[in-house]
Structures are given as C-alpha cells and as structure tokens.
Structure 1
Amino acid sequence: MIAKPDLPERTPRGKGEPTALDGLLVIDFTRVVAGPACTQTLADFGAEVVKIENPDGGDDTRAYEHAEIGGESAAFLSLNRNKRGIALDFNNPAALEVARALIAKADVVVENFSGGVMKKFGLDYASVAPTNPRLVYCSISAYGRKGAFALRPGFDPITQAESGFMSLNGFPDAEPVRTGPPIVDMATGMSACNAILMALLARERLGRGQQVEVALIDTAVSMTGFYGMAYLISGNNPGRFGNSPNGSPTVGVYRASDGPLYIACANDRLYRRLVTEVLDRPDLVTDPDFAHRKTRTANKEKLRAIIAGIFASDRLENWMAKMKKANIPVGYLRTVEEGFNAPEVRDRDRLSRIPHPTAGSVPNIETPLGMSLTPAVDPVAAPLLGQHTREVLRKTLGYDDRRIADLAQAGAFGKANLSAQGTDE
C-alpha cells in the first residue's frame, strides 16, 4: 500500500497584513494550464478572481487522471486555488448578460479560448472595451490572435516540438524529449501575469487599460534562450546534450557506489577544486589533455570515464560531504517523493494541507513568490464546479434572490439545479 505524505496544516498569515492586489477584480475565462496558472498567481496575492466555467463538466483539468481527492483532480486543485467559481452556459443569452455585467465591473479579464470564441459571444476586447475603458484584457493562445495561424488550436508539447525547444532536450543518440511538467504552459502563465501587472501599472499613468497577448509558441521560442541566440549568431543548429551542456565532462550525473549525484563544475576554478580537493587527483590539472577547458572538451569521454571510476569507488554521503566542504555545486538526484520530503523543501514550508468541502482537506503547494509587506493570502482550495454562483451574483453584481432564481429558470447556469451551484457560504 502506498503511504501518502504527511502534510502539516498551514500556518495562517499575520492578522492585518495587506495584500498586493486587494480590490482588484479579475474575471477568469481560462481553462487547462496556462490561463489558470496566471490567474492563480493574481488570486494568491489578493485579487478577487471569479472563474467562469461551462456547467457541462467545467474546466478540462477537472477530468485529468493524475490523481483525485474528494472528486477533484490533482491538476485542477493545483491551478485554481483562491478563486471563486461560477458556471455559465454561454449558449444561453441570460448567461451572456451575466458575463458582460461581470466584465463591465472588472479590472482584468483573462481568456484562453480558441481563436474567435470570445468574439462569437460578443465578449472580445473590441466588444467590451468601450463600456470599460480601464479594462486590462489578456488573451492567451497557442499561435496568437492574428495571422495565418490564429484559429489553429495548440498545446504545450506541440509548441515544444514546433519551436525547436524540444530538440534541445534528451540525449544525442536518442529522440528529442518533451519536458515532464508542461513547462511552456507554466512559463506562458507567468508571462501573462507579468503582462497584466505591467498593464495595470501603465493604467495608473495613462488612465486607460489595454489588450495584452501571450502565445505559447512565442514563449517556447524565447525559452530556447542562449542556444537559440547562438544559432542566430553562428548558423549552427544546436543539438541535444543530455545532462551535460555542450558535452562538459564535469557537468552532469555521476554514480557513487550506492546512488546518483549531479555536479555542475562549469569553469576552470571549480574544476581545479573538484579534482584536487575532492577527487585527490592533481594530475588532472597538470595533464595537457585536461589542463584547459578546450582540451577537456576535446578529451571529454576520457575524462568522464576517469571521474566516473573515482566516484564509483566510494559511498554517496562521503562524496557529498567532501564536495560540500570544498564548496562544489552538487546535489542529490531525487525522485518527487524524495524531493518533497527533503529538508531543502520542508524547511521552506512549501507543502501543507488546507480545507476542502468534499475531501475534508487537500494538499497545497505554496506559491513560489515571497513578499515581505504583502504576503500571499491564506490559501483556499479550488472551487467545486459552480460553487460560488449565488455568492458572486449577489455580492459582485448585486442581484437579489428573485433575479438569481429567474436566471436559473432561464437555464443560464446549465441544467443543474442552482442549489448545487452555490450557497451563501
């Protein structure tokens, strides 16, 4: 039987501490990964984020099968913390009226539908900006909202493949490998959040909002980084190098007699310290084959074999102690289980459990952003589908019970009974 990790309850933030985005109303039309990652960061720091979902199943990640608890998936829980959730059927005119009313009061709208969807429903920037000129409207897409590919749907691994990013990952003698986590989605979400915050700052100076756009393909291209820049300078197509950039024999995975480690001795100073203070092989400094970076690269397989033989002769903890004493960049090669239980993670209070309406409690991974004056809000678990419909319509739009009942009767919230789509809690 698999033992689940023991997680502590989260320590609440200090009473009276301000939040960075207090009073900011964000209407969130996003789903899957990039958009929800963006809006979750805004919610973590005090924005009121109203997540609008299709009542017929909601966000696609609700059905992802990594793991589930209390009827909710790990994917959905990981991306929708601190949001209030409502369900609206956009095929219903009454529901569109609610959506437009929310946008009219919003500071920020974020959407990542396929091209043309928001325009079809009259919810695109051109349609809504005249009634809310201070609105910051963020569109997240695979290939942008203009041009020949604007209507083409796309996903993280596809843009990894098409941008060249995937060609850099893996080993030289094997096929390219996508990253495990959806790194382009996550980076696009971060970029979208940055763009929104910049637009809000610009609004303070200019007095009006604007449309901002982030595309997966653009993010993937930018993430080729200095490898992409090197290609533009030299014309040489970079390839895969596994765990050792440029084939460096002193960067990558080695195995002690009882386990793996990762070292990163990427310059002459660190190399000399490694071979003299840790490996006790000063001859690897004076030997002409290894005396300089270029000669080490030319003889990398020979040097790698020598270093591998030395590491294999002793236990992992002995090597780790020696390398830490010599201030060599080194780390354990851990599984997720080992990493999450490591002191580097546990000492940072990154993991906790928080209340959930159907599961009792669910795991929580803290935001990686720290702010001394305006720390993140106390986390609230991702909403059930339509959980806050009644609350949002009452508190945000000022609708009374009669009007909410009329909307429910008109089918604005889908076929489900409103009692299952929100309470006053």
Structure 2
Amino acid sequence: MTQGPLAGVRVIEMGQLIAGPFCGQVLGDFGAEVIKLEDPKTGDPMRQWGRSKPKGLSPWWPVIGRNKKSVTVDLRTDEGRAIARELIATADVVVENFRPGTLEKWGLGYEELARTNPGLVMARVSGFGQTGPYAKRAGYALVGEAMGGLRHITGEPDRNPARAGISIGDSLSGLNAALGVMMALHARHATGKGQVVDAAIYESVLTVMENLITEYDLTGYIRERSGAVLPGIAPSNVYPTRSGELVLIGANQDTLFKRLCELMGRPDLAEDPRYRDHAARGVNQGELDARIAAWTLDQDIDDLLPRLEQAGLATGRIYRAPEMLADPQFQARESIVSVPHPVFGQVKMQNAFPRLTDTPGGVRWPGPTLGEHTQAVLTQVAGMTAEKVAELKARGVV
C-alpha cells in the first residue's frame, strides 16, 4: 500500500474503549502516525473486551488498535503528563475521550497545549459534548443512542426499544471526530491555527436521524418502531423462502413494482388501486407484504435471487461473517483483508474505507502489544536517552 493521504500527520491518541480510538483508527488507516498513550498496568480495556478470547487475546483489539503505536505513560503522574506534553508539542492532532474537565485537571487542556503548539487540533469525543448542563455526566453510547432518537425507533412496535448489535453511537462519534479533524486541518492551512473538534455521541446519532425532528415540528408526528420495514415504503422488506433463508426485496418505485408483479405472475396487482402508486402501497403495506411473502415462501432462494436481479430489483441475502468471507464481491474489492499477527499468524478484518484511487488507506499492522513502541517513540520523538526510558519503566511511569 501507499503511505496514505495523511502521511506526515502525527496523532496522539489518549482515548480508550471505542469512541475516541475509532477516530484514531480511521486516521491511522489513511497513513497518520497514531501514537496511542496507554496506562502501563492495564492498557486500553479493549485489549480484554470481547465474547471470546482465542489464544487468550481479544479479537477486538487487532481491529481498533491497528496502525497505531503503543506507548505506555501513566498520565496520573506529573512525569507522565510531562511526557505527554513533550509528545503533543510535536503533534498535529490529539484525540481524547475522557470525561470533560479531566484533561484540564491534569494541565493538558487545549488552551494550555495550544500555547506551545498553536497549530494543534484536538478532537474531543464525549457523551454530551464539552458544554451544556450534561457535559460532565458519564457519557456512554447506550445513553447517546437513546437521547439522539435511535433507540426509540429501533425494534418491533409491540416490544421495548431494541439496540443495534454494535456500539453504533461510539462509532458514529468517532467517525464524526475524524471528519472534524480533516476540516480543522484544512482550515489550518489558511489560518495557521488549530482548534477543538467537539464530537458528542448524542449529536452524532442525531445527525443521521433524517427528518425525524422536522416531521414532528411541522406535523406533530412522532416516529415509532416499525420492525423490519419503513412505514409507507412498500414493498421493502425481508421475506421467507422455501429453502428457509430470508430474501430482501426492495421494489417501492412504480416501475420496479410492476416488474415484481410480472415475476409473481400477477401483473394485475400493478394496476390494483390498492397498490398502483407509492402512496397507495404505503397505506396497504401490511397486506401487500403478506401477498409477496406467500409467493416467496413457494420459491427456493437460489432460484429466486437471479430472477429478481435480472429484473433490476434490489435484492439479496442477510449476511453474516461466513457469507461475507465467501462472497465474490467482498473478495474482488478486498473488503476484508488478512493481516499478519504475531500470535494468530493471520487475522482477517475489514479493510480501510472509503477508497481513494491514488492514495488509498490500508492496514499496515494489527493492534500492537502493550508498550510495544514506548522506547522507540520516547527516544526518537521525545528525545530521551535509552537509559532514561529504562529508569522510567522501572518506576512504572512508562
């Protein structure tokens, strides 16, 4: 792979868990030098997280720790904070997701750091942002997802709100932080000054909630849980097949719906007043889905999918990890890559996205061992002697 478009950009990551480190992951994927500061005793908790522990290691860490250099520094000590200041003085970006006020308490707030490094960009990821009455509350994705509106509309209408099977609020805030860093670095070209990127989890969720606020403001309608469908968008659902698998079919445009009716052997349905336009199909969504499900239940998915695709309909299977690894589209685009790992030998993970034609990102190495780069970074970047690093290690500072 090439060095990536962010080659030459130095990032000091002081976050842990997902939200801040996901920002660092994105920046590292595209060539930034990401120096991750970790507690010497435990490191980032993501090193231990996960349902399974193959060979005693978390399968989560190789992904979120990839392309980063691990440097152990105890930020709760004066010496550790002094080391952090030295490293930050050489950096373009700092990423952190401590509770607001923590860095200021440690003497590592933005105003203080910017006095010696005025071009510094600091990405601050938190549950509720750096301002407002909730700023210093503990901010976790489950609360941000609920406050941002996602939890209320997720799940079946006759059950309590559900959650996505991933920490989507954390990832969205990390992605927004990375986007903000790019904007701030671009602005720095014109002004020479850095700035703070304030990425709140609840606002990162709110920003993808489409017209939820505007629709309520104009009509008083509160969007509710609707299960596998979007109310008024039909047909667009998952349907059963004779082979036991579910098939996704999207045919909510008039022309596409006509093609589906022809495949079903019921071209008359396209002219039926209950289904002949988008609005009518939305009103009669339930009964239309029942008609389509009765037809797909008599079809084998391997026979049905090619016919749906040939008709130009949006269709596909529900994928899990095995289907992703076997799929020729994933393989052709290298959506999943195999990365050398010192313990696992090889470990598969998602590639860097989005794709750039001339300076693409990529995975250079998986999450490093705790403190793997401490000596190299402190001697080469902070200018310490090897003897000084050894002495700090002996005292548990690094």
Q: State the TM-score, normalized to the length of structure 1.
A: 0.89
Structure 1 Cα separation of the partners of residues 338 and 305 of structure 2: 32
- Paired residue total: 397
Aligned to 2:67: 82
Aligned to 2:303: 318
Aligned to 1:172: 157
Q: Secondary structure at the match of 2:333?
A: coil
The question of 1:49 aligning with 2:34 is answered yes
The question of 1:281 aligning with 2:266 is answered yes
CA distance change for structure 1 residues 133 and 70 in 2, over 3 Å: closer, same or farther? farther
The question of 1:265 aligning with 2:251 is answered yes
Q: Secondary structure at the match of 1:73?
A: coil
Aligned to 1:418: none
CA distance change for structure 1 residues 22 and 299 in 2, over 3 Å: closer, same or farther? closer
Structure 2 Cα separation of the partners of residues 234 and 391 of structure 1: 60
Aligned amino acid, residue 214 of structure 2: M
Deviation at 1:358, TM superposition (A): 3.4
Structure 2 Cα separation of the partners of residues 307 and 92 of structure 1: 65
The question of 1:371 aligning with 2:345 is answered no
Pick aligned residue for 2:45 from 23, 48, 60: 60
Deviation at 1:18, TM superposition (A): 4.6
Q: Which segments of 5 or more consecutive residues in structure 1 lack a partner in the other structure? A: 1-12, 414-425
Q: Secondary structure at the match of 1:27?
A: strand
Where do 1:154-193 residues align within 5 Å? 154-193=139-178
Deviation at 1:312, TM superposition (A): 1.4
Q: Secondary structure at the match of 2:75?
A: coil
Higher mean displacement: 349-358 or 55-64:
349-358
Structure 2 Cα separation of the partners of residues 87 and 302 of structure 1: 60
Aligned to 2:22: 37
The question of 1:91 aligning with 2:76 is answered yes
Aligned to 2:118: 133
Q: Secondary structure at the match of 2:211?
A: helix
**1:275–1:284 contact (8 Å) kept in structure 2:** yes
Deviation at 1:294, TM superposition (A): 2.7
The question of 1:227 aligning with 2:212 is answered yes
Aligned amino acid, residue 332 of structure 1: R
**1:199–1:209 contact (8 Å) kept in structure 2:** yes
Structure 2 Cα separation of the partners of residues 293 and 212 of structure 1: 42
**2:40–2:397 contact (8 Å) kept in structure 1:** no
Pick aligned residue for 2:277 from 278, 281, 292: 292
Deviation at 1:247, TM superposition (A): 4.8
Structure 1 Cα separation of the partners of residues 370 and 283 of structure 2: 59
Structure 1 Cα separation of the partners of residues 336 and 15 of structure 2: 26
Aligned to 1:252: 237
Structure 1 Cα separation of the partners of residues 315 and 72 of structure 2: 49
Structure 2 Cα separation of the partners of residues 377 and 177 of structure 1: 34
Structure 1 Cα separation of the partners of residues 52 and 337 of structure 2: 17
Pick aligned residue for 2:368 from 370, 380, 383: 383
Aligned to 2:187: 202
Aligned to 1:147: 132
**1:69–1:362 contact (8 Å) kept in structure 2:** no
Structure 1 Cα separation of the partners of residues 34 and 308 of structure 2: 47
Structure 2 Cα separation of the partners of residues 97 and 408 of structure 1: 15
Question: 1:242-296, CA deviations, whole angstroms, 9 ceiling, x for partnerless residues?
Answer: 12111544110111211210111122121112112x1120110222222233332
**2:251–2:313 contact (8 Å) kept in structure 1:** yes
The question of 1:100 aligning with 2:85 is answered yes
Superposed CA RMSD in Å reads: 1.7
**2:237–2:248 contact (8 Å) kept in structure 1:** yes
Q: State the TM-score, normalized to the length of structure 2.
A: 0.95
Structure 1 Cα separation of the partners of residues 267 and 340 of structure 2: 57
Structure 2 Cα separation of the partners of residues 306 and 393 of structure 1: 67
Deviation at 1:29, TM superposition (A): 0.2
Structure 1 Cα separation of the partners of residues 3 and 345 of structure 2: 28
Structure 2 Cα separation of the partners of residues 75 and 265 of structure 1: 37
CA distance change for structure 1 residues 44 and 70 in 2, over 3 Å: closer, same or farther? farther
Q: Secondary structure at the match of 1:338?
A: helix
Higher mean displacement: 349-358 or 125-134:
349-358
**1:252–1:262 contact (8 Å) kept in structure 2:** yes
Higher mean displacement: 293-302 or 250-259:
293-302
Q: Secondary structure at the match of 1:246?
A: coil
Q: Secondary structure at the match of 1:245?
A: coil
**1:93–1:412 contact (8 Å) kept in structure 2:** no
Structure 2 Cα separation of the partners of residues 312 and 266 of structure 1: 20
Question: 1:95-134, CA deviations, whole angstroms, 9 ceiling, x for partnerless residues?
Answer: 1111110011111111001122111111110221101101
Q: Which segments of 5 or more consecutive residues in structure 2 lack a partner in the other structure? A: none
Q: Secondary structure at the match of 2:119?
A: coil
**2:353–2:361 contact (8 Å) kept in structure 1:** no
Deviation at 1:344, TM superposition (A): 2.3
Structure 1 Cα separation of the partners of residues 66 and 393 of structure 2: 26
Deviation at 1:226, TM superposition (A): 2.3
